[in-house]
């Protein structure tokens, strides 16, 4: 009987312990830098310029378009106290393309000027291996962005885009102008670029924990934002490029 019972009984193993979830790495939340990144991706992907070793000579320009936005120390001090995100680590360790980790959520209602947002971006791209000399100019309904793409393109880039809020984590983009150096993105590519940029950007916004938009308004010289930001941001290893 004991033998029969032992033959009919199967040993039980404890269930495996699930691995601890890895921290999620997310991309930079600013819409302005997102559009710059998407422009670079578009130009490389759709025009093939990325296959040319020395592009700056072909484009005929080595300096980004001057939008007249030259922030002062006062602009940096103002924006650094206005934006509620706690930025961990040294500013020189941040990069447009570098992975980042966001935690928490904090409400925000602010009106930033073109000089203030430019000061913020320039401060955190001081040692960026991908872009330099970023300027952002707020206009009625949107913004202009200029920068120098240091890697791959090695040339100035420019975007003029209208932005409308469509949901708590989504926007509508209307890219009116885009260019690399002295060359404009051909009209036949503009709709593809606009649709691609909007799709990818909204996917990024949804993926950022603690980020939401209740109000987003652009006017000449300033931008009004109401919603929530992640409470803190840290750099992480790796890159999404």
Domain map (residue ranges) of the chain: 68-236
- For residues 87 and 76, the model is more confident at 76
Rounded alpha-carbon distances, angstroms, from residue 124 to 18, 43, 75, 148, 150: 38, 24, 14, 15, 15
Q: How far apart are CA 1 and CA 4, in angstroms?
A: 5
Q: How far apart are CA 123 and CA 170, in angstroms?
A: 26
Q: pLDDT by residue (tens digit) across 202-238?
A: 888 888 888 899 999 999 999 999 999 889 888 876 5
Closest alpha carbon to 190 in 42, 41, 33: 42
- For residues 176 and 95, the model is more confident at 176
* Residue 74 pLDDT level (bands cut at 50, 70, 90): very high
Q: Which residue has the tokens 């090695």?
A: 154
- Express as a percent the part of the chain with pLDDT over 70: 72
């Amino acid at each position: 009987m004991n033998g029969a019972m032992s033959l009919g009984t199967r040993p039980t193993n404890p269930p495996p312990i699930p691995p601890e979830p890895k921290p999620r790495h997310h991309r930079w939340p600013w819409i302005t830098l997102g559009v710059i990144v998407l422009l670079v991706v578009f130009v490389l992907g759709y025009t093939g310029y990325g296959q040319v070793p020395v592009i700056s000579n072909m484009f005929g320009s080595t300096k980004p378009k001057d939008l007249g936005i030259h922030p002062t120390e006062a602009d940096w001090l103002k924006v650094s106290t206005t934006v509620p995100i706690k930025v961990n680590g040294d500013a020189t360790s941040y990069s447009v393309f570098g992975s980042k980790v966001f935690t928490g959520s904090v409400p925000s209602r602010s009106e930033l000027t073109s000089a203030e947002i430019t000061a913020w971006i320039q401060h955190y791209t001081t040692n960026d291996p991908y872009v330099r000399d970023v300027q952002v100019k707020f206009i009625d309904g949107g913004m202009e962005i200029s920068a120098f793409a240091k890697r791959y393109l090695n040339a100035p880039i420019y975007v003029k885009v209208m932005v409308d809020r469509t949901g708590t984590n989504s926007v509508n983009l209307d890219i009116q102008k885009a260019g690399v150096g002295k060359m404009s993105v051909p009209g036949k590519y503009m709709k593809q670029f606009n649709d691609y940029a909007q799709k990818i950007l909204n996917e990024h916004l949804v993926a950022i924990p603690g980020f939401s938009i209740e109000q987003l308004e652009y006017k000449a010289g300033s931008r009004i934002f109401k919603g929530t930001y992640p409470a803190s941001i840290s750099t992480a290893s790796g890159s999404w490029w």
